[in-house]
Amino acid sequence: MKTTSEKMENCQISLTVEMEPSETDKYMVMGLEHVAKKVTIPGFRKGKAPASLVEQQVGRHVILQEAIEHLIPEAYEEALKSESITAFAEPHIELLGVEPVKFRAIVPTEPDVIPCDYHNIKMEMGKKEVTDSDIDHVIEQLRLQFGTLVPVERVIQFDDVITADIKGSCNGEQILDRKDASFEIKQGSQYPVPGFAEKMVGVKKDENTEISIKFADDYEIKDLAGKEWSFSVKVKDVREIILPEVNDEFAKNSGAENIEELRSKIKASMQARADEEVRKEFEDKLIRAMIDGSNIDFPPVLVEKEIDHIIDEEARNFPDGIKGLENYLSASKKTMEQHREDLKQTASDRVKAYLVTKKIGELENITVSDEQIDEYIDNLIKGDESKAEKVRAAFKLPQPRESLREMILINKTMDLLTAMVTGQER
């Protein structure tokens, strides 16, 4: 076996392997055995025909193809050792010839990361305080949830709920025809199109109303720009919402003993969310600063793997998984290949963020013990003991456990970096 290797950009090595005929022979025998088990030749039981007849029946090229499938993986591993190459991920392999067998492997190698001078980065984490107005807004939303719809005999007003027969067309083409449709007449509503709710204010019950909405050519919503919508509406019912008083009874229906406790619970919940949003925004800026100031070189296959991961995440939002995502893309006139291309920048940033954070974790000697992993798992299943056994069993497996260890390590590194750049490190 002859091997040559050449360094490429982006932490890759081009590895070329050419097999000697004598080395290929044993794989031809192996290939012939595998093919013989699948071929039926008249007069012989399956898998029992002489090798010469099998080769005559299927052709040498079929046997060679079978042989190559076994040859290349083993030859690749041997070539790595011969050239003292440590592969970081699966290679891209291209068959160059069969007589003799020759192939080229593009081998991803260890990323090369030189972090920025993160010890001297200084940043401030903002603070968002929950106000009484914020709490009042949530209470108003709760009032709406507990409100009662009551029929009224008057013209439509904002916040009413109407039942109507509605037909809609756009530029002369009918695209909406619904009977007994329920609409909330909310100011600023986008449904069925912006401006529809405003046009309905003042309309009477049992009236047949014609509505026209023309959108400017430069309208901010591109799908509506330059189009004219026309609606024929017959209002059958108008109801207004009667809201409950804000008192201790209302608080009890909302899960608190009294109004003071309800406001306190709302504030604590909103503040926790606000703090999380502030921290997330801060970490995004910190990661961007680290990426921009670091030298990060890595094989492109990592981006492709991250795109695969993002697509898997997206597919979980559809009942029928990846098929649902494909249908959604098709409805948006986009192919999966185009979608993958759109995801490249996001995936690349994710890879860079992971690599530089992991490298800093190594430099700062951050580790994760088995006890810390078990503690994280305990917190994960707290309050849902029905899943405890299944979750613990899953994280006993080597790969999920190491993935969890890595995630905790990244989180610990981000905590340390946050303390450093905000001057809280002790």
Tell me whether residue 349 is exposed, middle or buried, using C-beta atoms within 10 angstroms of its C-beta: 0 to 12, 13 to 18, 19 or more: middle
pLDDT tens-digit profile, the chain (426 residues): 899 999 999 999 999 999 888 888 777 777 666 666 666 676 666 655 555 665 566 666 776 787 788 888 999 999 999 999 999 999 999 999 888 889 999 999 999 999 999 999 999 998 999 999 999 999 999 998 899 999 999 999 998 999 999 998 888 888 888 999 888 999 888 888 889 999 999 998 888 899 898 888 888 888 788 888 899 999 999 999 999 999 999 999 999 999 999 999 999 999 999 999 999 999 999 999 999 999 999 999 999 999 999 999 999 999 999 999 999 999 888 999 999 999 999 999 999 999 999 999 999 999 999 999 999 998 888 877 778 888 888 888 999 999 999 999 999 999 999 999 998 865
CA distance 277 to 286: 14
> Which pLDDT score is estimated for 65?
80
Tell me whether residue 88 is exposed, middle or buried, using C-beta atoms within 10 angstroms of its C-beta: 0 to 12, 13 to 18, 19 or more: middle
Coil vs helix vs strand at 234: strand
CA distance 92 to 69: 14
Q: 256: which 2 tokens?
A: 């608190």
Q: Looking at domain 2-110, what is its CATH homologous superfamily?
A: Trigger factor ribosome-binding domain (3.30.70.1050)
Domain ranges of the chain: 2-110, 148-242, 257-421
Condensed to tens digits (0 to 9), the pLDDT of residues 161-202 reads 999 999 988 888 888 889 998 889 998 888 888 899 999 999
Condensed to tens digits (0 to 9), the pLDDT of residues 282-294 reads 999 999 999 999 9
Domain 148-242 CATH (choose: 3.10.50.40, 3.90.420.10, 3.90.1170.50, 3.40.50.300): 3.10.50.40
Coil vs helix vs strand at 282: helix
CA distance 257 to 266: 13
C-alpha gyration radius of the chain: 33
State the architecture of 257-421 in CATH terms.
Answer: Orthogonal Bundle (1.10)
